[in-house]
């Protein structure tokens, strides 16, 4: 059996390598790897167990004194689907499950019974000491509590929770089959499942899961047989970000985030929009020029900026926030609050902000992660070392491989966010242009966004697919390159940086001049569309 597993792994690894453009490192497998598989550094792998597929009989006789890693699929097409998922997550946590990873959120066409509303689908990975049928019973209780009743098979339902994988067990009973018998034919199941895996081949439990797929290339090959990434963004299946009262397909077109600084000391426009009237006028201008999101910041995060207290920040923010939510131009637009304080984020969302943009990714005020989880809004985690007063220190500017290190450090922030209760489908990543980076690092990051995604994919394929926000606007490195001391004169250079970023995988661009940014985005989107048509 071990020899068969070894041969399967040899066949499976090239599939994962191909999935990420051939950039995964070489890896040799041995029988000792299978008996005592290497552990990855991520939290989920702490529960990795030796590779040996167990029968249902053996599993059912055990008391499951050890934590078992599980994967549970989620589906809904009735009512407020996002809120239903949020409630299901909470009920699972209170029923003996520890959720360690989330897949992205997918809106999918109905299968089998096609005359019904579109579904939301996702999946979670976690641990439990519940035995398989005890777990099944808990999930059925959750479905009933949320409002599911008996109906036609594959028909409309407020919630559907299925056990896809349970430890390294094969289960075949009258009421439960694991792995789920229809995984191989369902894109809406395979896409979230693949999100929960890494492409490095170093996680022991994932190795056994791939062997259970009945495919030599594991779940990667099954997903590719159904179309893989080529079907994402079609009517069949789309990745979506729940924000405000809608679902945003961030791959459909690039979103433009307009900067509104309420500060006296921001590097580009400090002091211009401190008065409410001036701030509202600027918000209207940004919207008229094409901004989809207005990002309001009341604290400067330029190098060596003086840090305000939460109360001081709120004194600047609240008057503008209260007025901007009233203007008719905001209809259909989104509001973001640029803050690293939990208290400020909470108050801003209560007053109408739709998302939180944290330049520290939870490092300056860890409480913000719990707040974002409770508020159930998208959370932007940016890469920065230290804080604005220390981020440009010699130590924080040292990189051996900037893209690899940014990916690793951002992924650590993703793990903390997920364990704090923020599902992956609400996380946006920002590589932090201008923060803890020299000019050459900024350029490498802009051109290396796909490399950052691939590095993340080694640890979590789901994390490699989340939206990327890029903010090069008027930054100092553009001034150095173009010899433009005045930040306002860097808009043309910003367009060049934004264009390169979008063509390399950015989904949201943060700019001071929304008109230029929107034009750049439209051209890049047209180029992307033309490339897809050729493919």
Instruction: Give me the DSSP letters along 437-469.
Output: --HHHHHHHHHTHHHHHHHHHHH-TTGGGS-BE
Task: Say if residue 202 is in the same domain as residue 292.
Answer: no
Is the pLDDT confidence value at 448 over 60?
yes
Q: Is residue 1 part of a domain?
A: no
Tokens 């689907």 -> residue: 81
Task: Say if residue 396 is in the same domain as residue 329.
Answer: yes
Count of structural domains within the chain = 2
Q: What is the mean pLDDT of residues 302-330?
A: 91
Tokens 């009945």 -> residue: 214
The CATH number linked to 395 is 3.20.20.20
Active site residues: 475, 510
How much of the chain, in percent, has pLDDT values that exceed 70?
85
Name the domain boundary from 182, 207, 237: 237
Is the pLDDT confidence value at 37 over 90?
no
For residue 55, the model assigns a pLDDT of 47
Task: Say if residue 222 is in the same domain as residue 288.
Answer: no
* DSSP one-letter code for 486: S
Q: CB of 180 within 8 A of CB of 163? A: yes
What are the residues whose beta carbons fall under 8 Å from the beta carbon of 284, sequence distance 6 or more? 327, 329
Task: Say if residue 315 is in the same domain as residue 351.
Answer: yes
Q: Which of 89-103, 273-287, 300-314 has maximum average pLDDT?
A: 89-103
CB atoms within 10 A of CB 52: 14
For residue 44, the model assigns a pLDDT of 33
Is the pLDDT confidence value at 54 over 50?
no
Query: 38-52, 242-256, 345-359: which has the minimum mean pLDDT?
Result: 38-52
The CATH number linked to 192 is 3.30.70.560
Q: Is residue 50 part of a domain?
A: no
Q: What is the mean pLDDT of residues 257-263?
A: 93
Q: Give the predicted TM-score (pTM) of the model.
A: 0.87
Is the pLDDT confidence value at 16 over 70?
no
For residue 389, the model assigns a pLDDT of 85
Task: Say if residue 280 is in the same domain as residue 221.
Answer: no
Is the pLDDT confidence value at 451 over 60?
yes
Task: Tell me the pLDDT band of 335, cut-offs 50, 70 and 90.
Answer: very high
Exposure b/e, 205-237, CB count within 10 A at least 16 = b: bbbbbbbbbebebbbbbbbbebebeeebeeeeb
Rounded Cα gap, residues 98 and 48, in angstroms: 15
Rounded Cα gap, residues 351 and 359, in angstroms: 21
Whole-number mean pLDDT of the chain?
A: 87
Name the domain boundary from 237, 261, 281: 237
Name the domain boundary from 237, 271, 286: 237
Task: Say if residue 220 is in the same domain as residue 263.
Answer: no
Task: Say if residue 180 is in the same domain as residue 291.
Answer: no
pLDDT digits (tens, 9 = 90+) for 385-426: 998 889 989 999 999 999 999 999 999 999 999 999 999 999
Q: Is residue 109 part of a domain?
A: yes
Q: What is the mean pLDDT of residues 22-34?
A: 38
Task: Say if residue 260 is in the same domain as residue 216.
Answer: no
Q: State the first-to-last Cα distance of the chain, in angstroms, to the nearest integer.
A: 41
Q: Which two tokens stand for residue 502?
A: 């979008």
For residue 268, the model assigns a pLDDT of 57
Q: What is the mean pLDDT of residues 306-334?
A: 94
Q: What is the mean pLDDT of residues 158-178?
A: 95
Q: Is residue 132 part of a domain?
A: yes
Q: What is the mean pLDDT of residues 463-475?
A: 97
Task: Say if residue 309 is in the same domain as residue 203.
Answer: no
Task: Tell me the pLDDT band of 47, cut-offs 50, 70 and 90.
Answer: very low
Task: Say if residue 194 is in the same domain as residue 82.
Answer: yes
Is the pLDDT confidence value at 17 over 60?
no
Q: Is residue 233 part of a domain?
A: yes
Q: What is the mean pLDDT of residues 151-162?
A: 84
Rounded Cα gap, residues 386 and 364, in angstroms: 8
Domain that holds residue 396: 252-534
Q: Is residue 335 part of a domain?
A: yes
Rounded Cα gap, residues 262 and 273, in angstroms: 5
Give the residue from 300, 340, 344 showing the smallest Cα distance to 321.
Answer: 344
Q: Is residue 187 part of a domain?
A: yes
How much of the chain, in percent, has pLDDT values that exceed 90?
75
Give the residue from 57, 43, 12 showing the smallest Cα distance to 212.
Answer: 12
Q: Is residue 244 part of a domain?
A: no
Is the pLDDT confidence value at 75 over 80?
yes
For residue 269, the model assigns a pLDDT of 57
Task: Tell me the pLDDT band of 89, cut-offs 50, 70 and 90.
Answer: very high
Rounded Cα gap, residues 334 and 484, in angstroms: 32
CA 187 to chain centre: 19
Q: How far is CA 471 from CA 265, 340, 348, 508, in A?
A: 18, 17, 22, 9
Task: Say if residue 158 is in the same domain as residue 261.
Answer: no
Task: Say if residue 171 is in the same domain as residue 263.
Answer: no
Give the residue from 363, 383, 359, 375 showing the smallest Cα distance to 421.
Answer: 375
pLDDT digits (tens, 9 = 90+) for 112-129: 888 889 999 999 999 999
In this structure, the dihedral spanned by the alpha carbons of residues 402, 403, 406 and 411, taken in order and rounded to 10 degrees, is: -150
């Amino acid at each position: 059996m071990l020899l068969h597993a070894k041969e399967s792994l040899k066949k499976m690894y090239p599939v994962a390598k191909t999935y990420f453009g051939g950039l995964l490192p070489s890896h040799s497998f041995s029988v000792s790897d299978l008996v005592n598989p290497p552990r990855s550094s991520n939290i989920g792998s702490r529960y990795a167990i030796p590779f040996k597929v167990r029968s249902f009989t053996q599993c059912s006789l055990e008391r499951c004194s050890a934590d078992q890693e599980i994967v549970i699929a989620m589906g809904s097409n009735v009512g407020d689907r996002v809120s239903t998922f949020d409630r299901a997550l909470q009920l699972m946590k209170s029923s003996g499950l520890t959720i360690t990873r989330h897949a992205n959120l997918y809106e999918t066409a109905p299968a089998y019974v096609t005359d019904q509303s579109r579904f939301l689908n996702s999946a979670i990975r976690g641990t439990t000491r519940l035995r398989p049928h005890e777990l099944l019973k808990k999930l059925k209780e959750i479905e009933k509590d949320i409002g599911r009743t008996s109906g036609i098979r594959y028909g409309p339902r407020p919630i559907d929770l299925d056990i896809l994988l349970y430890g390294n067990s094969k289960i075949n009973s009258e009421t439960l089959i694991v792995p789920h018998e229809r995984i191989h034919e369902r894109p809406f199941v395979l896409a979230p499942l693949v999100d929960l895996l890494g492409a490095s081949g170093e996680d022991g439990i994932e190795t056994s899961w791939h062997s259970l797929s009945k495919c030599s290339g594991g779940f990667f090959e099954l997903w590719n047989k159904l179309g893989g990434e080529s079907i994402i963004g079609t009517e069949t299946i789309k990745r979506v970000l729940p924000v405000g009262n809608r679902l945003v397909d961030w791959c459909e077109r690039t979103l433009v985030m307009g900067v509104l600084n309420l500060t006296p000391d921001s590097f580009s426009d400090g002091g211009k929009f401190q008065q409410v009237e001036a701030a509202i006028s600027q918000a209207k201008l940004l919207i008229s020029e094409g901004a989809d999101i207005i990002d309001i910041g009341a604290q400067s995060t330029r190098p060596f900026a003086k840090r305000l207290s939460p109360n001081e920040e709120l004194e600047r923010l609240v008057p503008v926030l209260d007025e901007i939510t009233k203007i008719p131009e905001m209809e259909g637009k989104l509001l973001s609050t640029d803050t690293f304080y939990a208290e400020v984020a909470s108050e801003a969302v209560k007053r109408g902000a739709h998302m939180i943009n944290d330049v520290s990714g939870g490092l300056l005020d860890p409480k913000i992660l719990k707040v974002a989880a409770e508020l159930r809004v998208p959370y932007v985690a940016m890469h920065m070392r230290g804080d604005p007063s220390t981020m440009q220190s010699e130590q924080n500017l040292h990189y051996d491989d900037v893209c690899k290190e940014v990916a690793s450090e951002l992924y650590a922030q993703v793990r903390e966010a997920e364990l704090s209760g923020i599902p992956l489908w609400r996380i946006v990543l920002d590589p932090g242009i201008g923060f803890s980076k020299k000019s050459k690092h900024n350029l490498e990051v802009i051109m290396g966004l796909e490399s950052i995604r691939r590095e993340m994919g080694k640890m979590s394929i789901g994390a490699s697919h989340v939206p990327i926000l890029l903010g090069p606007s008027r930054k100092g490195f553009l001034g150095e390159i173009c010899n433009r001391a005045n930040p306002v004169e860097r808009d043309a250079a910003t367009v060049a940086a934004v264009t390169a970023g979008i063509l390399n995988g950015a989904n949201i661009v943060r700019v001071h001049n929304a008109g230029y940014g929107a034009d750049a985005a439209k051209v890049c989107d047209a180029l992307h569309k033309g490339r897809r048509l050729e493919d």
